[in-house]
């Protein structure tokens, strides 16, 4: 529901701002909203136009910048000034992309191979974040033009396999474009939402989302449990998509017309025309059985059958990826209940046929495949705006939920006011060599020390195989379902040992009690911070004493008598301060112990390296 408010100062009517959903694609990007009157998601398009904005940016000579169809015209004629596929560079270093450097026709800097990549245009350098923000700015201003209101808040989608760096880069691009990015959501999740999957309470569904776009292919297997979307596996090929169909058609025609490669290389505008014509043929053949046209007075034609022969090997590659994804998720084709088709290239009838044959069921393909992701993002935006009151995601956790870590500190996994349902996981490890059990104590509250919070539950993870301290990987996950039930699971990832427990976090707490706990946390914030710092110093001191003692047991003969005495004194001093010292005193004592042990630790290290090198050839 869009709200109309009255601006008291001016007396004029003001429409409350919308939160938009944005699909920031490799090839095309677009914006959608949930229509305030119909409550249905719709894509935003200019009168008579299309919703898709090619994700292409062109830099003109006079410092002009164009985005979208305007920029796409320069792809082949001005390759060095025309940026496409910038999504592939998000959050990447040169080393990450160097194997595909020939794919990019513009200049990617290679002087610092570890840092995030930059693109060079003339004497200016742009980060992928800046370039993406230009696409987002264009989308924002289009949306404002169409909606006739300011657009400042958005939900943006990313591929399920994007890592934290890539998600952060996308967020930053939004910020740079003047958008408050309320949430980054996975493209397959958005596609499911667009089809209404995951919107019902108690619904459990296993879904495959098949996304064949312009240049990339992604298959994601999702498990939806009461509105929680869990990615079971992803697979795909970041260099496989509709563009490959186009190139195959160009090659085919080149052969038919006896056009040598060289001629295309020298005549860029001919190459461009052939490419565009090939895409036109492909699109035509999705609904017709023949295509005929001409390029520079030469006739080009293609039948549906000929096209399918060209496309089949690529589709076969995607099928191979689907099978791997199923295998990684530990599932077979029969376990998949829903298959959703996403991406413009899934309009090709052959693709639909081969994929429905593979999964042996009808596909969700009633919506425009190049719009579903944006539509789903709009659904999510609408939920965040609080318009969809029926939807579960609106519930929030009143207090933070976390576990006790060393020194009695509260480690928050789910911060207060998180939307539920939600799922969070974090890894922990053991403190002692051979430690076989771990106690997981679950707390609720805002204070830094668990003793000031409310204990909800406790359980032990036992049977961890003997390993040196720090080696086991214990993943603790918190899942709060739509009913506010918290399920805590602990799993040692190397051995697979696991244990879980169910708790009702809110049980027994009245609103007043919740309020009091919040007030307490504010009143004690400063003290809590101090205590946390002290406890952290104490914990660190304890660890250093343990490692130093271990070291002494193994390498005592390595130290001079004086060193041994100094070390033992420093340990005793630190031990005493753990009980009674201030944070600063403890830190100073840690430093002096480190000073004392440094020389012999270094000696030992040199010796170890010397031994390792002996008898080996050293390369220069
Ligand atoms: P991305 O997600 O990579 O940004 P899209 O989902 O917008 O890309 O898909 C773009 C691709 O879809 C292009 O290769 C385009 O040629 C192709 N495409 C669009 N419409 C059709 C159609 N009717 N038939 C076949 N391919 C199509
Ligand atoms: Mg896409």
pLDDT in tens, 90-106: 988 888 888 887 788 89
Residues 415 and 554 in one domain: no
Residues 140 and 213 in one domain: no
Give the rounded distance of the alpha carbon of 268 from its chain centre: 37
Ligand 2 is an ion; residues with CB less than 5 A from it: 25, 213
Q: Flag whether 388 is in a domain.
A: no
Q: Flag whether 305 is in a domain.
A: yes
Q: Flag whether 236 is in a domain.
A: yes
Pocket test for ligand 1, best of 242, 282, 307, 343 (most atoms within 8 A of CB): 242
> CATH number for the domain including 459?
2.60.34.10
> CATH number for the domain including 235?
3.30.420.40
d(CA 606, CA 614): 12
Q: Flag whether 396 is in a domain.
A: no
Q: How confident is residue 505, by pLDDT bands cut at 50, 70 and 90?
A: low
Residues 108 and 250 in one domain: no
Helix boundaries (H) for 177-216:
187-194
DSSP-assigned letters across all residues of 527-556: HHHHHHHHHHHHHHHHHHHHHHHHHHHHHG
What pLDDT is attached to residue 6? 47
Cα 146 to averaged position of ligand 2 atoms, centre (Å): 22
Residues 220 and 237 in one domain: yes
Residues 155 and 21 in one domain: yes
Who's near 120: CB < 8 A, 6+ residues apart?
A: 106, 107, 108, 109, 126
> CATH number for the domain including 567?
1.20.1270.10
What pLDDT is attached to residue 619? 47
The atom of ligand 1 lying closest to the CA of 282 is 25
Q: How confident is residue 2, by pLDDT bands cut at 50, 70 and 90?
A: very low
Atom 13 (ligand 1) nearest CA: 214
What pLDDT is attached to residue 12? 46
Catalytic residue among 130, 138, 172, 187: 187
- pLDDT tens figures, 17-29: 789 999 999 999 9
d(CA 414, CA 466): 31
Residues 274 and 215 in one domain: yes
| Catalytic residue status for 87 | yes
Give the rounded distance of the alpha carbon of 50 from its chain centre: 28
Residues 299 and 182 in one domain: no
Residues 423 and 492 in one domain: yes
- pLDDT tens figures, 400-449: 889 998 888 999 999 876 777 788 899 998 888 889 989 999 998 888 89
Lowest mean pLDDT among 381-390, 410-419, 431-440, 473-482: 381-390
Domain that holds residue 608: 527-613
Residues 470 and 356 in one domain: no
In terms of phi and psi (left: phi > 0; alpha: psi -120 to 50; beta: otherwise), the region of 484 is left
Q: Flag whether 132 is in a domain.
A: yes
Q: Flag whether 386 is in a domain.
A: no
Residues 567 and 428 in one domain: no
Ligand closest to 27 (CA) is: 1
Q: Which residues line ligand 1 (CB under 6 A)?
A: 25-28, 52, 213-216, 241-243, 279, 282-283, 286, 343-345, 347-348, 370
| Catalytic residue status for 528 | no
Q: Who has greater pLDDT, 133 or 113?
A: 133
pTM assigned to the model: 0.67
Overall domain count for the chain = 4
| Catalytic residue status for 99 | no
Taking 80 as the threshold, does the pLDDT of residue 54 lie above it? yes
Residues 356 and 233 in one domain: yes
Tell me which residue of 301, 310, 477 sits closest to 401, measured CA to CA: 477
Q: Flag whether 618 is in a domain.
A: no
User: Residue 284 in 3-state DSSP?
Assistant: helix
d(CA 246, CA 311): 9
What pLDDT is attached to residue 339? 98
Catalytic residue among 130, 138, 211, 246: 211
Residues 175 and 50 in one domain: yes
Q: Flag whether 387 is in a domain.
A: no
| Catalytic residue status for 187 | yes
d(CA 48, CA 186): 30
Q: Who has greater pLDDT, 483 or 320?
A: 320
Q: Which of 380, 410, 438 is the last residue of a domain?
A: 380
């Amino acid at each position: 529901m869009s709200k109309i408010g009255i601006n008291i100062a001016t007396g004029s009517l003001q429409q409350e701002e919308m939160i938009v959903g944005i699909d920031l694609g490799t090839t095309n990007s677009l914006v959608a909203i949930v229509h305030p009157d119909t409550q249905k998601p719709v894509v935003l398009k200019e009168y008579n136009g299309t919703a898709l904005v090619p994700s292409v940016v062109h830099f003109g000579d006079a410092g002009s910048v164009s985005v979208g169809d305007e920029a796409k015209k320069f792809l082949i004629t001005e390759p060095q000034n025309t940026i496409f596929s910038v999504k592939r560079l998000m959050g990447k270093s040169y080393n990450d992309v160097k194997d595909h450097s020939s794919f990019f026709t513009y200049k990617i800097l290679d002087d610092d191979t570890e840092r995030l990549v930059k693109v060079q245009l003339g004497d200016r350098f742009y980060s992928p974040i800046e370039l993406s923000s230009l696409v987002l700015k264009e989308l924002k201003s289009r949306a404002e033009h169409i909606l006739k209101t300011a657009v400042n808040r958005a939900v943006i989608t990313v591929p399920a396999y994007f890592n934290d760096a890539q998600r952060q880069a996308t967020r930053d691009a939004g910020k740079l474009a003047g958008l408050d990015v309320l949430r980054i959501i996975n493209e397959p999740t958005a596609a499911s939402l667009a089809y209404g999957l995951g919107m019902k309470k108690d619904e459990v569904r296993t879904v495959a989302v098949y996304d064949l776009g312009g240049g990339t292919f992604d298959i994601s297997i999702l498990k939806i449990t009461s509105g929680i979307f869990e990615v079971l596996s992803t697979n795909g090929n970041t260099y496989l998509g509709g563009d490959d169909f186009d190139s195959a058609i160009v090659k085919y025609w080149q052969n038919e017309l006896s056009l040598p490669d060289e001629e295309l290389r020298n005549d860029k505008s001919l190459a461009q025309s052939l490419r565009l014509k090939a895409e036109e043929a492909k699109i035509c053949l999705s609904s017709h059985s023949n295509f005929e046209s001409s390029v520079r007075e030469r006739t080009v034609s293609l039948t549906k059958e000929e096209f399918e022969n060209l496309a089949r090997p690529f589709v076969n590659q995607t099928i191979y990826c689907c099978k791997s994804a199923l295998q990684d998720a530990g599932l077979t084709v029969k376990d998949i209940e829903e298959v959703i088709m996403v991406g413009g290239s899934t309009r090709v009838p052959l693709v639909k046929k081969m994929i429905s044959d593979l999964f042996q069921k009808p596909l969700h393909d009633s919506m425009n495949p190049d719009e579903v992701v944006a539509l789903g993002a709009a659904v999510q935006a609408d939920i965040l705006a609080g318009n969809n009151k029926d939807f579960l995601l609106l519930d929030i956790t009143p207090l933070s939920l976390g576990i006790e870590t060393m020194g009695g500190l509260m480690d928050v996994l789910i911060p207060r006011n998180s939307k539920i349902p939600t799922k969070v996981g974090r890894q922990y490890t053991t403190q002692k060599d051979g430690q076989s059990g771990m106690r997981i104590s679950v707390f609720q509250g805002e204070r830094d020390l668990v003793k000031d919070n409310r204990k909800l539950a406790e359980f032990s993870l036992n049977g961890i195989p003997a390993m040196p301290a720090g080696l086991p990987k214990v993943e603790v996950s918190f899942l709060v379902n739509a009913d506010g039930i918290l399920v805590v699971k602990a799993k040692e990832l190397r051995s697979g040992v696991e244990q879980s427990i169910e708790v009702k976090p809110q049980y027994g707490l009245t609103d007043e009690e919740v309020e009091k706990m919040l007030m307490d946390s504010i009143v004690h914030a400063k003290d809590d911070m101090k205590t946390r710092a002290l406890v952290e110093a104490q914990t660190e001191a304890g660890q250093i004493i343990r490692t130093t003692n271990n070291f002494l047991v193994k390498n005592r003969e390595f130290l001079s008598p004086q060193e041994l005495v100094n070390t033992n004194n420093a340990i005793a001093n630190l031990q005493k301060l753990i009980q009674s010292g201030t944070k600063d005193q403890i830190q100073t004592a840690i430093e002096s112990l480190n000073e004392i042990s440094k020389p012999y630790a270094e000696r030992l290290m040199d010796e170890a390296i010397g031994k390792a090198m002996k008898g080996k050839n050293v390369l220069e």
